[in-house]
Structure 1
Amino acid sequence: MSYFPTNLTEEEIKELIEQHKKTISKLENQRTLIISLALLTTISIFLINLIGNLLLTIFSFIICFLVLLSLIASYPGQSSTDYLEDEIEELNKLLSIRVENRLKQEEIDKKTIYDVILKVKGISYRQEAFSDLCQELISESDDIPYLGYTSKEIKEELIFEERFYKYVPFEIPDVEFIPEFDNKFDPNAVKIVVRGHHLGYVTKSKNRKVLRLTTDSNNEVIKNAEIYGGEYKDINPDSGRLRTVKDSFKIRIKLKVLKKSPENFKR
């Protein structure tokens, strides 16, 4: 089984593959050299034996025997090459995924006409709805709080991060932008509804553009709500010990609007 990091970039993967190929080549050359030396040693014993000098033959045999043992001990096993070849195969698969994802992302970037992270305006007035949504997500989540880490493991993670959250961020694709034309404060108001929960509104500076772009049939709209934050653990600066801090969840809406491809229009 291979244990290389799966977050490698394309260039890092290619470099690692080349390193493995060079290592395999060195191992093959080493095997060829050892086999050649072993054959040369065997021929030397045979030639010395032809001379007929018993003491010289015995002495040469002992020396050659020790040399052969040394060569055998240094002979690289086939398992080393097999392991590297297996890892190269896995790296090539990972490289293919990286390339495919990059090409997809480049295609998306070309078609993207609007890419923004929206804050939810007025959520402070709808804390009950937001709290109900958060509880739904927690009850449905398969993740163990704090990822099941022990206090010792959390302390180790906090060497690199200031906070270690109880829950990983929740990603929710069920997001709706609903115009509220009868809103007495703003006839251009656009409600943000997540999984049926009305949480607030699109900010006034963006509501017209969001409504226009998301209702245009020529556009492809990708909407995701991310709920993050909440309770976390950190290191108490006074005692240096692990502590639990109660904090509220927060939400942001990731909106991406793409121009549909020509083939989508035909459908």
Structure 2
Amino acid sequence: MTSDGSPVWVARRARLAISATIIATLACVAGVVAVPRPADALVAIGLYVPSIIGVLLLWRTSVYSWRDGARQPRSFTVHRDAFLLLPARATTRAVALVLASAFPAGHLIMRMRVGALDALDWAIAAVGALVIGLATLHSVFLWRGAPRPLVIVTPSGVTAAGFFGSVHAPWTAFRSVYASWPDRRMNLALPVYGGRSVSRRGLRPHGVKLPDTSEPFAIPAAWSTNPWWAAQALATYWRGIRDRSAIGTPAEHTTLARTLDRFDHEIDEQLSQFQ
């Protein structure tokens, strides 16, 4: 389990947060568009303020440095016979997108009420459609308890899942003699080479680099788990140090954590290179 609590409790908090945000945003938009000629102050409070807060939160969630990673707990999330690497600030990102949609949605409704749309209105409508679409995707997957992007570690291998597709690398494709650590861009290159080493379903998830003969399989490492700890944990499986068939069980996670306690100095040494 993560230090934040059980997956069920974390999911309930996320659902509560996103539900409250959607209701509040809809109330703000409805409160403005219900008035035939809303005052500037009402428009500012009902549309501008939520969107500005959303944009600021969205900017904050897009920044994930090695310092952010170093502060994350050293543990997987255990859920349904798998170890999960959840994206950092997934709830905040979904909340930010919902809030940011207030202005384009309200503006478009008000403009359609008074007449034809001009070029600026269509531009705002296009941006609004993108924001609302992303807000819907993030909210739906967050509500399901599987925010994206998501890394799923199972007895069969490692899967990087996005909104519209996934890439799976079986343990047999990993080169066992290699070590791997996150780089300064917070990407983790896994020792998997060759395009036929992985299987893809649907579209390639954003940020995932497919392997070839010279470049490894790489995945974004902006997780709510310490990326250096996670890299060390994954290495124990592709090297065959730990029993892969036990992946996803609470007992295996406890034993894994105890095993990795012996390697804390290696993780700290890697982190010291970023300071």
User: What is the TM-score with the length of structure 2 in the denominator?
Assistant: 0.27
Larger radius of gyration: 1
Structure with the bigger percentage of strand = 1
Q: TM-score, normalization: structure 1? A: 0.28
